[in-house]
Chains A and B, each alone.
Chain A
Amino acid sequence: MQQAIGAAHRETIPVVGGRLEMIVYSDLPHHDSTWGLTTGKDGRLYIGACGESFGGLSVFLLRYHPETDELEYLVECGPAVGEPPDNGHATQSKIHYCLLPGDDGKLYCATHASGPPWGDPSWNPWACWDDTVKRFPGSHLFIYDPKTNGIEDLGVGPKKEGSRALAFDEKRQKLYGITWPRNHFYIYDLAKREYTDLGRFGEINPQAVWLDRDGNVYTTDDYGFLLKHTPGSDDLVRLHSQAPHLAHRRGFHNVPYDVVPSPDWSCVYGTDWGYESYLWKFDPHAGPEGSLQSYGRAWGPPDFPTDSSLEATQVRGLVFGADGKLYFTMTASWETPRVKYLLRFDPKTQEREVLGPIKFGDHQPGAIASATQDYYGNLYFAGAGNSPTRMYVYRPDGVTTSKKRFRWKDIKQWG
């Protein structure tokens, strides 16, 4: 089926230094979350529109054109990998942090689970593991080619499991992934078409797996200790670097929520999926095991209580702007309105600046997932938890399509 420009509802609000636009994918009325969002080598934004709280939906790939402001509906992924959403199984409902651009212009992807089978209100992977019908068949690894609008299905990688996060080492032609719900680390060798499961490495599902410039691969264990995989090895080695945590805690659940490269790619900045909501920097080249530096709580009073709810503050959507500042979103329980805010952090001065609440009339995002930038300097934040699903675009003052502020090398190849 041919791709086409579709409908996109839009609203705009002013924020510090620019404006924030909401772009709703109106032709997908039931899809409710966008997790995977990236910038292709062609400079277009690629979007995984997911449907996870409604039985019988499969993920769609969409493309946004910064130059023309058009939203293009490309392909429905489930049928393209031989798994239509009405086949009775838990659906190929999502592309989580597994939508990665290649230097060849293609996208390297893995599907994810949690969407119920057609007609079902909910889905529990533990209850359906041995159910030959209701179970999720597994995460399909595939390559999308924008030139042909075609999908090359590489088959199921992790059987019965989804892929939570993915990184792409294009030089070595390897994909590195994390499964859900069992938390296995896997390698897919694109040249050999070979899948290798290195086994379980934890309980809490990290939302990021990332690379350094030497091709080493990182994620963390349940307590935020960095795990490193060296290419060619068959193991994950625990480092002494640990994501920072409050003094009275041991760091449980401080797996990474989001990790982005610094503008010069010398290190990465990250945040936890824990109760801390800290920002940190990891320099993999400082010493034999690298060095991790804490910037403390991403925003807010330093003594704001650690909320008993894990998802209370949600520091997410990390992306560097053309001004060299780290943009992110966060929910503030101490602010009015108590919604998500767009912020930026200056690594040089460590100053935080609130750009404004993310609130469009009565609408506020259920969650912000990943983020990316276009070549001109606009920043894109994936929205989750609202139907239809959508994204939010920060358009800094002075940004036009006549001047590029980013290049292909600035785009990360992990989700």
Chain B
Amino acid sequence: MNIVEHLRERTWPTRPEKVNLGDYGVGTFVREGHVQTRALQRHQNLSEPIPPGECAITSLCRAKGGLIYGATSGKRSHLFCYYPGPGQDSVVDLGVLPGAKEVRRSLVATADGRVIGGVSVTDESEPSGYLFAYPRRSKEGDGFVERLATPVEGEGIACLVLDNQLERLYGLSTLTGTFFVHNLEDGTVTCRGPVDETNTFSHTLVLDNSGNVYGAKSLGELFKYEPISECFTGPDSGLTPLGVRIPSVAGRSYYNRLDSAVLDEQTGLIYGGGSADGVLFVFDPDTDTVTALGKAVAAPRVRCMTVGADGRVYGVAGDCDGMGHLFRYDPEPRELIDLGAPYSGMDRVWHGYEFDAACTGEWGEIYLGESDRVSHLFLYFPPVRRRLPAA
């Protein structure tokens, strides 16, 4: 039988009847609330955007006055600032961080208005990742940031958290997972040793309301660093395994890392997400207990999250080189929902697929750092909570 004879005898598929596609079309994208983008350039296109290939936003923080700072990764790393105020609404590229290619999970803001970051990956000109500070009124040019310290020679900085009360930075090095403490007051760096002997630690740290620091070592087991331990002398690093693991699908803890974590300052609870299967969880520092909250999407990873002004947790779940979805966890009804893929109509029409940073703005707006070859700062405005109908 030749192909034409075959075609004439072939049973073709039939078109289904009585189809209800539900929200199949636009329902894929965020519809609750409103999504916008800002190109990484001055408003009215007064500057070129941060170039493709070096604009992936991999760190975000909110600083004094509601300004949003970000750092990028790629061929070069830029520090930028978004001014949300009226008449501005604009991103300014503050400069290229010398010798830096990546700044990941390593940007924090001090109470006095400084922005401090850590370089995760360097180019050949820079042997080690360093801590830097951006003063609010910086000079331009090469010296626009001040170098603070190099915590671990030959390694980058995997993540940073800041205790504003103690004026201390806590971080991990990228290769050996060395836990370090940088005292902002006197400039000293103290290394407390590797958090894990197998180097399969997570590149995420989070603080609780008491100033304790949490991270995850191998198999996603949480550890705790208590600043009070620094009072003791002796071999104790102050890093205490808690004996609890972040959740994953059964048998997959080997693959699981603490992908992102955030403190709800009001409740004192810490929310986190695992890399292996994208399981969201809540950790109670008072009881050292972990409770799984579920998965927002089918894919692994919870790449970033932040607590909104409404007490809900917002984040992006989904794998690298995939299609991330914005999710929301509401502690009140204990509801985890997938809001959909971020899709903006202004100032750029743009589907956002890759995100690696998030923070909450002064008025409750959510900032998401896109981390693609061409990237934007995404703004998500959650819907207002509606009043209950009158009885």
Q: Which residues of A contact B (CB under 8 A)?
A: 1-7, 27-30, 54-57, 73-76, 85-86, 118-122, 124, 126-127, 129-131, 181-182, 198-204, 222, 235-236, 252
Pick from A28, A57, A119, A203 the residue with the most CB of B within 10 Å: A203
Known: A2-B3, A124-B24. A30 touches B12 (CB 8 A): yes
Tell me what chain B mostly uses at the interface: helix, strand, loop, or mixed.
Answer: loop
Contacts of B12 in A (CB 8 A): 29-30, 56-57
Task: Report yes or no: A199 in contact with B16, Cβ–Cβ below 8 A.
Answer: no
Q: Which residue from A73, A119, A126, A201 sits with its C-beta under 8 Å from B7?
A: A73
Pick from A4, A76, A85 the residue with the most CB of B within 10 Å: A4
- Closest-by-CB residue of B relative to A184 is B373
Q: Which residue from A6, A7, A121, A199 sits with its C-beta under 8 Å from B21?
A: A121
- Min CB gap A414→B, angstroms: 23
Task: Report yes or no: A54 in contact with B322, Cβ–Cβ below 8 A.
Answer: no
B271 within 8 A of A: no
Task: Report yes or no: A201 in contact with B3, Cβ–Cβ below 8 A.
Answer: no
- Min CB gap A185→B, angstroms: 9
- Closest-by-CB residue of A relative to B5 is A4
Interface CB pairs A-B, < 8 A, 21: A1-B2, A3-B3, A5-B4, A30-B12, A55-B13, A73-B3, A73-B4, A118-B13, A119-B16, A121-B15, A122-B21, A124-B24, A124-B28, A126-B29, A126-B341, A129-B299, A129-B322, A129-B323, A131-B298, A182-B323, A201-B373
Contacts of B334 in A (CB 8 A): none
Task: Report yes or no: A199 in contact with B372, Cβ–Cβ below 8 A.
Answer: yes
Give Cα distance in the complex from A27 to B3, angstroms: 10
Contacts of B319 in A (CB 8 A): 130
Q: Which residues of B contact A (CB under 8 A)?
A: 1-8, 12-13, 15-16, 19, 21, 24-25, 27-29, 52-53, 297-299, 318-319, 322-323, 341, 348-351, 353, 372-374
Give Cα distance in the complex from A119 to B8, angstroms: 20
Known: A54-B13, A199-B372, A201-B373. A121 touches B3 (CB 8 A): no
Give Cα distance in the complex from A7 to B349, angstroms: 45
Contacts of B351 in A (CB 8 A): 126, 181-182, 203
Task: Report yes or no: B373 in contact with A119, Cβ–Cβ below 8 A.
Answer: no
Known: A199-B372, A203-B348. A182 touches B5 (CB 8 A): no
Give Cα distance in the complex from A198 to B373, angstroms: 9
Task: Report yes or no: A236 in contact with B7, Cβ–Cβ below 8 A.
Answer: no
- Min CB gap A219→B, angstroms: 13
Contacts of B349 in A (CB 8 A): 203-204, 222, 252
- Min CB gap A355→B, angstroms: 33
